[in-house]
Amino acid sequence: MNGFREPMLASLTERRFSSGDWLYERKFDGMRAIAARDGGRPELWSRNGNRLDERFPELVDALEELGGPRFTADGEIVAFDGRVMSFARLQARIHLTGAARIAATGVAVYYYLFDLLSYDGQDMTGLPLRDRKRILRRAFDFRDPLRYSVHRNSDGEAFYEQACERGWEGLIAKRATSRYHPGRSKEWLKFKCVRDQEFVVGGYTDPQGSRAGFGALLVGYYDRGRTLRYAGKVGTGYDERTLRDLRRRMDGLAQDQSPFADPVREKGAHWVRPKLVAQVGFSEWTPDGMLRHPRYRGERIDKPAQDVVRETS
């Protein structure tokens, strides 16, 4: 039961509710990670099966010190800007390895654990969530940078209102009796305070004026896992470092033809192989399926481009 495990994923819903049969947790604004240990050094895995040990060595150290010899746990890696959880701040760490380069960023990370898949050689996935969380709470000596994800047992609607007032991403509602299984589930539900999701980068436009790198990303999502549909251009939310770094990597993915199934009528468009995934916030979908007021929030390295679809409730 140790090693990488495909994580359980929540489904988006617009229905808010309160029920004693559900647990309500904070929706974290970070990077999903599976932690595993089988007697040796702990391992960290992204949700798409990539090792993260060298990028977050302080978390591996904490798991080794504060956990038992054998476990598989699920959680999220986050960073803060002041007291606010910040996916943008986490971006400074996601591609870096090496102690000196990591320390130079000044970005501290924390690992919130919210589920336990195995412990001391025993499979936990068949147990109800409430039992798994009870065992998880006792399985680790939680202190920074390792944190336990607390939950509420009721008052989902009131908690959701508080989450939005505090500027959180939202909540995850989880059925208290749910078993852990890989893939998307209706027993875990997302209550979002803000609209955002992942999109695949299929191209970019030329920069204008003194701007470096590029003007806007051209993004889309997969329809039924095969067709890349165009969703619009994202021209805001970048700092200079991000503009230059993304352009450098897009140059390495350049291709002559558009990867989108739909026509893209943007001047100065350049095309790339659809490998990069961006997190994008937006106000709403337009009637013709385009993003309104999109803003770049960061790159996602923990999700394969082929798995990016339009989120619907």
Is 1's pLDDT higher than 60? no
Distances (CA, A) of 38 to 4, 74, 121, 141, 166: 11, 15, 8, 18, 39
State the pTM of this model.
0.90
Strand, helix or coil for residue 198: strand
Do domains 6-26+152-194 and 29-148 share one topology? The answer is: no
Over range 207-214, report the average pLDDT: 92
- Residues 110 and 147 sit within 8 Å (Cβ to Cβ): yes
Cα angle 308-312-313, degrees, rounded to a multiple of 5: 140
Cβ burial, residue 5 (10 Å; 0-12/13-18/19+): buried
* pLDDT tens sequence across 163-175: 999 999 999 999 9
Question: How much is the pLDDT for 10?
Answer: 97
Please, which pLDDT band fits residue 154 given cuts at 50, 70 and 90? confident
Question: How much is the pLDDT for 298?
Answer: 96
DSSP 180: P
Q: pLDDT > 90: what percent of the chain?
A: 93
Please, which pLDDT band fits residue 225 given cuts at 50, 70 and 90? confident
Question: Which of the residues are catalytic?
Answer: 27
Is 110's pLDDT higher than 80? yes
What is d(CA 168, CA 130) in angstroms, rounded to the nearest whole number?
24
What is d(CA 108, CA 269) in angstroms, rounded to the nearest whole number?
37
Cα angle 58-276-76, degrees, rounded to a multiple of 5: 30
Architecture of domain 6-26+152-194: 2-Layer Sandwich (3.30)
Closest Cα to residue 184, out of 313, 275, 14, 76?
A: 313
CATH homologous superfamily of 196-307 equals Nucleic acid-binding proteins (2.40.50.140)
Is 224's pLDDT higher than 90? no
Domain boundaries, the chain: 6-26+152-194, 29-148, 196-307
**How many CB atoms are located within 10 Å of the residue 283 CB?**
12
What is d(CA 207, CA 97) in angstroms, rounded to the nearest whole number?
30
Find tokens 């054998």 and name the residue: 70
Question: How much is the pLDDT for 49?
Answer: 92
Please, which pLDDT band fits residue 257 given cuts at 50, 70 and 90? very high
Question: Which CATH number does 29-148 carry?
Answer: 3.30.470.30
Query: What tokens does 120 get?
Result: 């001391």
Strand, helix or coil for residue 26: strand
- Residues 35 and 63 sit within 8 Å (Cβ to Cβ): yes
Query: What tokens does 210 get?
Result: 């003194």
What is d(CA 202, CA 246) in angstroms, rounded to the nearest whole number?
12
Strand, helix or coil for residue 103: helix
Helix (H) or strand (E) holding 136: helix 129-139
Question: How much is the pLDDT for 226?
Answer: 84
* pLDDT tens sequence across 267-311: 999 999 999 999 999 999 999 999 999 999 999 999 899 999 999
Closest Cα to residue 113, out of 29, 194, 226, 32?
A: 32
Over range 28-44, report the average pLDDT: 96
* pLDDT tens sequence across 117-147: 999 999 999 999 999 999 999 999 999 999 9
**How many CB atoms are located within 10 Å of the residue 229 CB?**
16
